Amino acid sequence: MGRNLTLPTVLGIALLFGLSFLAPWLKFVFTIALAKGLAVLGILLLLRAGQVSFGHALYVAVGAYTVAFTRPVAGDVLILLPLAVLAAGTVGVLVGLFVTRYRDIFFGMLNLAFSMVFYSLLEKLYAYTKGTDGITVVRPSIAGVMLERVPYEWTMLCLALTLAVGLGLLARVFLASPLGQALPAIKTRETRLEFAGISAKRVLLVSYVASAMLAGLGGGLIAMTTLHVTPLLAYWTHSGELVFIAILGGGGAVLGPFLGAVVFELVRVYAAAAFPDAWQMILGAVLLAIILFASRGLWGIYEDLTAKRGVRS
Amino acid sequence: MTLLLLLAVLDGLAYAALVFMVAVGLTLVFGVLRVLNVAHGSFFAIGGYVAATLGGAVATTAAAPWLALPVLLVSAILVGGLLGPVVEKLLLSRIYVKDHVLQLLVTFALFMILEDVQKLIWGVQPIFQDAAVKALGPVEVGDIVYTRYQLFLLPAVAATTLLGLMWFLRRTLTGRVIVAVTQDREAATAMGIDAARVYMLTFTFGTMLAALGGALASPTSSLVPGAGVNMIVLSFAVVATAGLGQIEGAALTALLIGLGRSVAVYFAPEFEVVIPYLIMVAVLLVRPYGLFGSPELRRV
């Protein structure tokens, strides 16, 4: 746990920037990957407590639609993003008060149910959401400055990176705090946690709302990068993707979600184009393989590699 | 107004019958194996696709139109009999000892795989095959012309399934063996019961029920990608409202949710999808373990 993450983080940032300079279209891919990484960071908090949500795309969609709805009124990234986080947090408290009464199966499936309800509302309430057509988002200004496309994309990438590093650090501090340390206790023996005078429900609710806000932030960033939102953001396949990235990256460290998300998005660019009808199948098969054979994910593999090298030298 | 209400009730009954078929399989498998199978929804969809394909073949070649009806049952047995044992042996039997979250992830992964298998085999265009409905013809209820298939066959199959299951689990040797394994696997094994075989049998049977639900649904609604996910989420709502592992309870909640949904279809179509979950949330707020569940979850 107490590993030094500075070197891999700096290397990762350098690699992202270097690749973006070489192939400009990668800016877009990386920004989306980092935005999803933020949502997955939220999933990671819940995974620490042994809980998996099959419905976190709900909060991504809430964040994204908040941006789409308020863009005509408030046109700045610095206003839109906090609004997206706030909206996702509010929905997170409401849904969280209900779902944190449950664990395991109920927790996962109730989240799925809520996200699917939201999806169909987005699809059916055409008058407000334009249904499956979605809403186009006009490029917002950043701190009062309207930027052209290329500088805008660079700024969004930098913004996503800053948020990823900042919130990754914050998540690390949170996980090391007494509240964060209570999360694994929910997984191992909840009753003992309660005996120690700590409310498991409250611990889980705090983490749940935090995870919803992270997902909302990710959704806001996605809306500002793709400049178009559709109900598909809330669909179960999207929730499945987030869970997939969390497992792929591994839950061992806060870098896992971002590593997982970048690898995932890069593979997707090629694989989804080559096998559009078999994409979910590939995801499912890889997910099975990771669960059954490499349960600590990519980050676990990285740790194993570096650990061995450390012993040798 | 009354006409619409009558129509809503008829639709609700037929729909509840279908949902019950899927939900009862889900709850039975959970009751015995303690695994919530997310891929149950895929078995529903695959059952529907196979029935539509076979039904199409029968409708164009066979002389007797009534043959479309047994085809539905045959498809369900085919899908359940082939997929059930394979999935149980290759996948589920490896994860019974793991924690619930991993089990859920494994069945979710299977679900993702099966969704694309459907797309690869049957494409993404809607498929519709209503030979079975035509074979039974229409019937008049008051001023409404309704199909015999939905009015008689669907509720009859659901009722037979419910009563048959209750009789099977309480009165037959195999049924009692299943209940014994459910209550205490170790004690049952000590008595000489082959628990692994019971698990496989139950899972296969549960798969057949889901496939039968899909086969029965296929003549009344067209098959599109996403049918599986809607059904797993809905039947989970039914099962959770009733209490996980409750068979009779699942019948009652399926009726409640089916009727609620079809009333919404006629009177507030935008909220059709929301009603089942509103019912679920309302029930779970008052009774966190479902209408018939208890904290310890009496099983089967």
DSSP chain B: -HHHHHHHHHHHHHHHHHHHHHHHHHHHHHHHH----TTHHHHHHHHHHHHHHHHHHHHHH-S-GGGHHHHHHHHHHHHHHHHHHHHHHHTGGGTTTS-HHHHHHHHHHHHHHHHHHHHHHH-SS-B---HHHHHH-EEEETTEEEEHIIIIIHHHHHHHHHHHHHHHHHHSHHHHHHHHHHH-HHHHHHTT--HHHHHHHHHHHHHHHHHHHHHHHTTTS-B-TTHHHHHHHHHHHHHHHH-TT-HHHHHHHHHHHHHHHHHHHHH-GGGTTHHHHHHHHHHHHH-TT-SS--TT----
Q: Is A302 among the domain residues?
A: yes
> Does some domain include residue A140?
yes
How far is the alpha carbon of B135 from chain A, nearest alpha carbon, in Å?
A: 34
* pLDDT over threshold 80, residue A55: yes
Q: Which of A219-223, A254-258, A266-270 is the least confident region?
A: A266-270
pLDDT recorded at residue B27: 92
Say if A262 is an interface residue toward chain B (CB within 8 Å). Answer: no
Segment 167-206 of chain A within 8 Å of chain B by CB? none
Position A27 in a domain: yes
| Residue indicated by tokens 């908040």 | A66
In a domain, A1, yes or no: no
Give residue-wise pLDDT tens across range B209-251: 999 999 999 888 888 888 888 888 889 889 989 988 888 999 9
Q: Mutating which of B46, B112, B233 best tests the A interface, going by the most A Cβ atoms within 10 A?
A: B112
Amino acid of residue A39: A
Structural domain for A287, as ranges: 6-312
- Tell me, what's the pLDDT at A308? 63
pLDDT at residue A310 greater than cutoff 60? no
How much is the average pLDDT of A85-90? Answer: 95
Reported as a single tens digit per residue, the pLDDT across A110-140 is 898 899 889 988 988 888 888 888 898 888 8
pLDDT exceeds cutoff 50 at A7: yes
Residues of chain B in contact with residue A44, where contact means CB-CB under 8 angstroms, are: none
Distance in angstroms between the alpha carbons of the first and the last residue of chain A = 21
Interface probe with A: pick from B116, B125, B257, B272, most Cβ of A within 10 Å = B116
**CA neighbours within 13 Å on the CB side: how many for B37?**
34
Q: Is the pLDDT of residue A157 over 80?
A: yes
Q: Nearest CB to B108: which of A51, A54, A113?
A: A54
Q: Which of A36-40, A126-130, A259-263 has the highest mean pLDDT?
A: A36-40
pLDDT at B298: 40
Query: Average pLDDT, whole number, for chain A?
Result: 87
Extract long-range pairs of A121-129: CB within 8 Å, 24+ residues apart.
A121/B270, A121/B273, A121/B274, A122/A61, A122/A65, A122/A231, A122/A234, A123/A231, A124/B269, A124/B270, A124/B272, A124/B273, A125/B270, A129/A65, A129/A231
Question: Stretch A280-289: mean pLDDT, rounded?
Answer: 87
Please tell me which residue of chain A has the smallest CA distance to B277: A113
Structural domains of chain A, count = 1
Overall average pLDDT of the B139-143 stretch: 81
> pLDDT value at position B160?
94
**What's the predicted TM-score (pTM) here?**
0.86
Task: Report chain B's mean pLDDT, rounded to a whole number.
Answer: 88
At the topology level, CATH places domain B2-286 in ABC transporter involved in vitamin B12 uptake, BtuC (1.10.3470)
Q: Read off the amino acid at residue B229.
A: V
Is the residue at A111 inside a domain?
yes
Q: Give yes or no for A54 touching B (CB within 8 A).
A: yes
Q: Does pLDDT of A313 surpass 60?
A: no
Distance from CA of A154 to the nearest CA of B (A): 35
Which of residues 95 through 124 in chain A touch B, CB cutoff 8 A? 98, 101-102, 104-106, 108-110, 112-114, 116-117, 120-121, 124
pLDDT at B296 over 60: no
CA A307 to chain centre: 28
Could A287 and B274 be called an inter-chain contact, meaning their C-beta atoms sit closer than 8 Å?
Answer: no
pLDDT-above-90 percentage for chain B? 40
**Which secondary structure element, helix H or strand E, spans residue A256, and what is its range?**
helix A255-274
Distance CA B244, CA B258 (A): 18
Evaluate whether residue A86 is within a structural domain: yes
Q: Where are the domains of chain B?
A: 2-286
Number of residue pairs across A and B with CB atoms under 8 Å?
107
Say if the Cβ atoms of B116 and A287 lie within 8 Å.
no
Task: Say if residue B274's pLDDT is above 80.
Answer: yes
Determine the distance in angstroms separating the CA of A245 from the nearest CA of chain B, rounded to an integer.
12
User: What confidence tier does A1 reach under pLDDT thresholds 50, 70, 90?
Assistant: very low
**Interchain proximity A121–B273, CB inside 8 Å:** yes
- pLDDT value for B88: 93
Q: What is the pLDDT of residue A127?
A: 83
Half-sphere exposure of A104 (CA within 13 A, CB side): 15
- Verify whether the Cβ–Cβ distance A109 to B236 is below 8 Å: yes
8 Å CB contact of B110 and A284: yes
DSSP string for residues in B83-117: HHHHHHHHTGGGTTTS-HHHHHHHHHHHHHHHHHH
- Average of per-residue pLDDT across B118-132: 86
Q: Which of B99, B112, B120 sits opposite A50 (nearest CB)?
A: B99
| Contacting A residues, span 215-234, partner chain B, CB-CB under 8 Å | none
**Residues A193-228 pLDDT 10s:** 888 888 888 899 999 999 999 999 999 999 999 999
| pLDDT of B44 | 95
Question: Looking at A190-194, B11-15, B112-116, B117-121, which range is the least confident one?
Answer: A190-194
Q: Do B236 and A113 touch (CB under 8 A)?
A: yes
Yes or no, beta carbons of A112 and B113 under 8 Å apart: no
Residues 6+ apart with CB under 8 A from A293: none
Is B120 within 8 Å of A113 when comparing Cβ atoms?
A: no
Which pLDDT band holds residue B62 (cuts at 50, 70, 90)?
A: low
What pLDDT sits at residue B163? Answer: 95
Q: Which pLDDT belongs to residue B205?
A: 94
